[in-house]
Every structure is written in structure tokens, then in C-alpha cells.
Amino acid sequence: QKEVEQNSGPLSVPEGAIASLNCTYSDRGSQSFFWYRQYSGKSPELIMFIYSNGDKEDGRFTAQLNKASQYVSLLIRDSQPSDSATYLCAAGGVLSNSGYALNFGKGTSLLVTP
Amino acid sequence: DGGITQSPKYLFRKEGQNVTLSCEQNLNHDAMYWYRQDPGQGLRLIYYSQIVNDFQKGDIAEGYSVSREKKESFPLTVTSAQKNPTAFYLCASSDRGSRNQPQHFGDGTRLSIL
């Protein structure tokens, strides 16, 4: 079973702080990783993707990937109350017929308090 | 604007009834996917299609059926054999087979039992 594990939270951080969200994956064959934000009652929205070891920055968001440790993280700097949502980590995996799909974690709930 | 349109937004199913959820995309994506999300749970793959006239079962295909007669459309039928259909259903699409391409989601359909 190809699993993606996330702490369900809630992770509570004060406004302006750095929120750190973590994810581990079991399939060593995974080569691409995605972070989605999902507000309550809404569909997931892509925030960032990362393919190579190291850091990738986009505005207030930084994705970090360590393939040796099978670990992905998302840092949100200067957290805002509008960042309060569930964050889904997904790892790209090859399907049995050579197709491609994403394995999703259950998500981490983030609460940014004013 | 390019995107994925799911309809209806809310759907109610009676006992023994089949219902069909619509998913249309104008992103010119080859691959399309159906996921189910239960409260507090991650996304579970129901069916996926890499090209027109071809589709494959995902992790939880029992009680569901799909068709892919057009590139733009990938409807999902929830049959009476699905005994626990209440969930949030999400349709997604991506460029075909590319493991580095993210999936983009529609707004979802909430299905409940009457």
C-alpha cells in the first residue's frame, strides 16, 4: 500500500508566525509531490509542487523535499487567518497500467489565530 | 476561462436509485479522475481515465461506473450497489500520464441519501 502520512492536527499558530506542515510517504518510486489547500466545504486548490531535493519558494510558501528520508514539508511564513484550512500532501505514483495518479494524505488542519 | 465543471453541486439519492454526476473540462487534458472524500479523510481514487474510450478502476470502484466517450467529459454513476454513497465527490484532470503534472479539481458534488 502506497501511503502518505500527515498529522491531522489541528496545528494552531499565531498570526505572523511560521506554520510548518509535514508529510511522509512510503513509495520510494514517487518523484513528484504536491501541496493542496482545502477550505471547509470546498475542493482542493494547488499551492505548490516540488520534484527535486531541497527547497522551493513561492511567495510566503516554501516546499521542502528530502527523498532519502521520504519527507516533504510546507512552510508558510507570516501566517494569516485566511491561511486557516486543511492542507493535503500528495505524492505522484505510477498506476498498474502505466498511468499516473496521486496518493493523498488525510490532511493537516491549520488554524491561524489573530 | 479554462476549468473543470462539476454538476450538480448537491444531489440526493433515494434507495435503489442510480445517480450520475457530471464532470466536464475545457483544459484539453487527456487524463481525468474521480475521487471520493469522507469527513476527516483523504481523497480516495474511484476511477481514472488516461485517454478517450479507456478507463481503469481505482482503489474503491465497487458500486460505481464511468464512461469516457469524449475527451472533455467523464461522468460518474453511483449505482444502487454502493451502499454508503454519502460523500463529497471530486473530479480532477491533468496532462496525460506525466508524473510531474499536477491535478486540478472541480468544485465537487455532495451526495446524500434521502
Per residue in B7-61, pLDDT (tens digit) is 999 999 888 899 999 999 999 999 999 999 998 788 999 999 988 999 999 989 9
Distance of CA A9 to the CA centre of its chain: 13
* Residue of chain B with shortest Cα separation from A95: B58
Contact across the interface for B58 and A105, Cβ inside 8 Å? no
For residues A63 and A35, is the Cβ–Cβ distance under 8 A?
yes
Provide the pLDDT confidence category of residue B98 given band limits of 50, 70 and 90.
Answer: low
Interface check for B87 against chain A (CB to CB < 8 A): the answer is no
Contact across the interface for A97 and B98, Cβ inside 8 Å? no
Q: Which three cell numbers stand for residue B69?
A: 466517450
Distance of CA B56 to the CA centre of its chain: 12
* Residue of chain B with shortest Cα separation from A52: B100
Check whether B72 has a pLDDT greater than 60: yes
CA A67 to each of CA A48, A53, A113, B18: distance values in angstroms, whole numbers, following the listed order: 17, 6, 33, 44
Contact across the interface for B40 and A46, Cβ inside 8 Å? no
Interface check for A1 against chain B (CB to CB < 8 A): the answer is no
Q: What distance in Å separates the CA atoms of residue A102 and residue B38, rounded to the nearest whole number? A: 17
Phi, psi values for residue B72, rounded to 5°:
-80, -15
Distance of CA A38 to the CA centre of its chain: 11
- To the nearest whole angstrom, how far is the Cα of B86 from the nearest Cα of chain A? 14
Residue type, A65: L
